[in-house]
Amino acid sequence: MFELCFSFLSSVDDFFWSYIGFSLIMLLGLYFTIKTGVFQLRSLPSVIKTFFYFLTSRSLSKQGTHPLKVFFASVGGMVGVGNIVGIVTALQIGGPGAIFWVWVATFLGALIKYSEVFLGLKYRVSNDQGGYDGGAIYFLKKAFNTRYVSIIASVLLCIYGAEVYQFSVLTHSISVNWNLNHLLVVFGLLFLIFFAAIGGIKRVGKICSLLMPFFTLCYLFMCLWVVGHHLTELPTVLGEVFKMAFTNHAAVGGFTGSTLMLALRQGISRSVYSADIGIGYDSIIQSETSASQIIHQARLSMLGVWIDSVICTLTLLAVLCTGLWKANPAIDSFLVIQTVLSLYFPYQSFFMPLLLFVLIYSTLISYLFVGFKCARFLHQKHGEKTYLIFSVAFLLLFSFFDQSKALLIMSLSGCLLLCINLLGIFRLRNEIEFSLFKQESPRKTDALSA
């Protein structure tokens, strides 16, 4: 009965990402792309300029958190197992064509992310903790003129905030590679995660800004090194990516073959999950910024999507160039990238679990922080305490389940959140400011009162 239930839910999930999710992302993304004259590309110089300005500026405002700490907390929530394990799973199931649809979702999704963050900042309110409350749960009240939609979104984000899939992957990775007791690893991680998340956005942002840059750059360097050693195969690999994005792929080696719809579904769904496109988590994090000009923080959110896509792309290219994606017998998705990197770098059985710990830990604390904020939105007095009990039980339970079931729970929650948030964004589309002509310097408009 239990397996039958998950089988049905899996069919629902497949149908959603094959037709509904794909259509929503494509239609809204194309609408904003045409309306703004490809704003996601034209704004790149100002995005980079804003990033470096904030990098050299300290916050003068007592309310809110420094824009870059918020940015790194946001990126910390996006960059995780989805960029390494989830994206390799998409390749193993959907074939090389899946990477093309990852790029499509990134290109169109960048504007959806910008719109969501802009609206989340526009309708944020001050809280009694010296920060702000904002994000999707606040702009949805305006979009639908009722609190009930925001309540539904908050409940779903509470479920989504207890990131059971990545927690399951991390506990499995550490216990297997470092030969530690599984239950001991579970409780140790629970303590570390809740210590950070309960400390609020300042603690989460500080941890992410310390951990993320170094380990992410190390991983990108290793992937580039692998791709650099296979430059002669790169044209063939890229040709296969574009060809298989629109055709079926026959079985080869340990790869069982795929169809166009399978490649599309895997690419779109993994990209939405990895980059948090239209889900609502990121706008809640970004609303904590101390930046007075909200358009600057909204622009930075697009940079997070591009960074996420670069990591996904290099992961997939490294795997494609070495041919391990079609190994026979098939290699577990968690071990594929570890095997690829071990061809050129030693001690991967130690480094990969450490890398996963850093990436997933930053994701878990960022997501859980959002879960606590949504719980407080649902009930000011007892929301956080109730959510603490729920999230501990939820993470503990799914740490002993098959990882595919944990991923299915996250994906289904994401399905519902995507529908609600994209509809809300579309209803408020005329309130979104895409600053195409007013490319002001943050130095002039954002003295880090911002």
Here the CATH number for the domain that contains residue 364 is: 1.10.4160.10
pLDDT for res 251: 47
Q: How many angstroms separate the CA atoms of 366 and 205, rounded?
A: 8
pLDDT for res 437: 47
Mean pLDDT of 254-274: 74
Residue 122: pLDDT over 90: yes
Q: How many angstroms separate the CA atoms of 446 and 130, rounded?
A: 19
Q: What pLDDT, in 10s, does the model give residues 193-243? A: 888 888 877 788 888 888 888 888 889 999 999 999 999 999 999 998 998
pLDDT for res 398: 80
Domain assignment present for residue 266? The answer is yes
> Which of 110-119, 156-165, 265-274 is least confident?
265-274
Mean pLDDT of 178-203: 87
Place of tokens 């002509």: 437
Domain assignment present for residue 437? The answer is no
Taken in order 416, 263, 426, 126, the sign of the CA dihedral is positive
Q: Which domain holds residue 174?
A: 42-52+64-426
443 neighbors 49 (Cβ within 8 angstroms):
no
Q: Read off the pTM.
A: 0.88
Q: What pLDDT, in 10s, does the model give residues 403-441? A: 677 778 888 888 999 999 999 999 999 999 987 544 445
- Contacts of residue 209, defined as CB under 8 A and 6 or more positions apart, other chains included, come to 68, 69, 72, 73
Domain assignment present for residue 134? The answer is yes
Residue 449: pLDDT over 50: no
pLDDT for res 422: 96
103 neighbors 383 (Cβ within 8 angstroms):
no
Domain assignment present for residue 35? The answer is no
Domain assignment present for residue 447? The answer is no
Domain assignment present for residue 28? The answer is no
Q: How many angstroms separate the CA atoms of 338 and 333, rounded?
A: 9
Q: What pLDDT, in 10s, does the model give residues 317-357? A: 999 998 877 765 566 777 888 889 988 988 887 888 888 88
Burial class (CB in 10 A: 0-12, 13-18, 19+), 196: buried
The number of domains in the chain is 1
